[in-house]
């Protein structure tokens, strides 16, 4: 499991509060960092889910180490109800794992050249399929929506003009040129938002998150805990709206309207504001810098 640093591990354990005899679901197993820490914190059981078959294969060493306490299944966390009937806690670490980023052949990063793939499950439509087949309007819309990119239409035109686009380095170069010299003065690489947009679209990450939150809410036992770590505003907004919308106080329609109570509140908020990584963690693991943690406690029916 070398090379994987679980983000905000201390805060995740604090919010999940593992206890003996309980059952937990790690819906984004990845490198197994959360699952290992949960199993070491209490005499409990963990179901690890990941749609990446390589993550499941890597995790077999942990399955053997924890001898009957860890079960791994390949699949989407939005289908966790197909693998479990009820649980005392669900933890989700959204986005791409360090292993996926660090493998050029997976196509998630432009640090090294690789095929334009980006599929977490290693099946279905690739990012190259999208870039080379989508029309201008579709490509511009997904870059704008999922990348929150102001220059989406200009980038889409450049990508279409350069077809076929087959590699990550080629994509990054096209996007950087389309952005112009001014983009190079920004803190993030000019192609970052476009890569994010394509990855989210290829893996239906936002739809998977919305479905997964609903399923987790149904599976959680009373006093069970939902803990979610997100890495960009699109994810965090979905998690925030879900938890506040199902909490003891529903959000106001406007600041002039009275606060209303949810008809049947499902959660007590454990985080009224998102938790963020410490300066020390960001220094030791720069990938943690954009992380936000939100959590809720499931109420009795």
* Surface-to-core class of residue 240, CB atoms within 10 Å of its CB (0-12 exposed, 13-18 middle, 19+ buried): buried
110 & 197 share domain: yes
220 & 182 share domain: no
Q: Band the pLDDT of 5: cuts 50, 70, 90.
A: confident
293 & 148 share domain: no
45 & 56 share domain: yes
13 & 153 share domain: no
Q: Band the pLDDT of 2: cuts 50, 70, 90.
A: very low
CATH number for the domain that contains residue 279 = 3.40.50.150
129 & 95 share domain: no
Secondary structure string (H, E, C) spanning the chain? CCCCCCCCHHHHHHHHCCCCCCEEEECCCCCCHHHHHHHHHCCCEEEEEECCHHHHHHCHHHHHHCCCCEEEEECCHHHHHHCCCCEEEEEEECCCCHHHHCCHHHCCCCCCCCECCCCCCCCCCCHHHHHHHCCHHHHHHHHHHHHCCCCHHHHHHHHHHCCCCCEHHHHHHHHHHHHCHHHHHCCCCCCHHHHHHHHHHHHCHHHHHHHHHHHHHHHEEEEEEEEEEECCHHHHHHHHHHHHHCECCECCCCCCCCCECCCCCCEEECCCCCECCCHHHHHHCHHHCCCEEEEEEECCC
Whether 3 is covered by a domain: the verdict is no
In this predicted structure, the answer to whether residue 295 has a pLDDT above a threshold of 70 is yes
Domain count, the chain: 2
215 & 269 share domain: yes
In this predicted structure, the answer to whether residue 196 has a pLDDT above a threshold of 70 is yes
Rounded Cα distance between 288 and 7, Å, is 6
CATH number for the domain that contains residue 192 = 1.10.150.170
Q: pLDDT per residue over 121-142, tens digit each?
A: 999 999 999 999 999 999 999 9
Which structural domain, as residue segments, surrounds residue 252? 9-99+205-298
* Mean pLDDT, rounded, for 156-181: 96
Q: pLDDT per residue over 109-125, tens digit each?
A: 998 999 999 999 999 99
Whether 216 is covered by a domain: the verdict is yes
Instruction: Among 203, 224, 247, give the residue marking a domain's end.
Output: 203
88 & 210 share domain: yes
93 & 236 share domain: yes
91 & 212 share domain: yes
* Mean pLDDT, rounded, for 90-108: 90
pLDDT score at 102: 87
In this predicted structure, the answer to whether residue 185 has a pLDDT above a threshold of 90 is no
214 & 254 share domain: yes
Instruction: Among 152, 183, 203, give the residue marking a domain's end.
Output: 203
45 & 123 share domain: no
pTM (two decimals) = 0.92
Sequence-distant (≥ 6) Cβ neighbours of residue 101 within 8 angstroms: 108, 109, 287
Instruction: Among 150, 185, 203, give the residue marking a domain's end.
Output: 203
pLDDT score at 1: 41
């Amino acid at each position: 499991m070398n090379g994987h640093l679980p983000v905000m591990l201390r805060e995740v354990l604090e919010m999940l509060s593992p206890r003996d005899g309980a059952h937990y679901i790690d819906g984004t197993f990845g490198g197994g960092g959360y699952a290992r820490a949960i199993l070491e914190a209490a005499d409990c059981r963990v179901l690890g889910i990941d749609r990446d078959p390589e993550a499941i294969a890597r995790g077999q060493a942990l399955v053997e180490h924890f001898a009957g306490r860890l079960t791994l299944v390949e699949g989407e966390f939005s289908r966790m109800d197909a693998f479990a009937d009820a649980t005392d806690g669900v933890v989700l670490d959204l986005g791409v794992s360090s292993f996926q980023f660090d493998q050029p052949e997976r196509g998630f990063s432009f640090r090294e050249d690789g095929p334009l793939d980006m599929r977490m499950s290693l099946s279905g439509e690739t990012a190259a399929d999208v870039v080379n087949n989508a029309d201008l309007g579709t490509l511009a819309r997904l870059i704008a929506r999922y990348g929150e990119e102001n220059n989406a239409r200009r980038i889409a035109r450049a990508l279409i003009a350069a077809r076929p686009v087959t590699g990550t380095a080629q994509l990054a170069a096209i996007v950087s040129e389309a952005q112009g010299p001014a983009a190079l003065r920004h803190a993030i690489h000019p192609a970052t938002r476009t890569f994010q947009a394509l990855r989210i679209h290829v893996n239906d990450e936002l739809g998977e998150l919305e479905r997964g939150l609903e399923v987790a809410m149904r599976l959680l036992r009373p006093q069970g805990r939902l803990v979610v770590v997100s890495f960009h505003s699109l994810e965090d907004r979905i998690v925030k709206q879900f938890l506040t919308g199902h909490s003891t106080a529903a959000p106001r329609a406007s600041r002039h309207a009275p606060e209303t109570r949810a008809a049947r509140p499902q959660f007590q908020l454990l985080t009224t504001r998102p938790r963020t990584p410490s300066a020390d963690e960001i220094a030791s693991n720069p990938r943690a810098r954009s992380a936000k943690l939100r959590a809720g406690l499931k109420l009795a029916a």
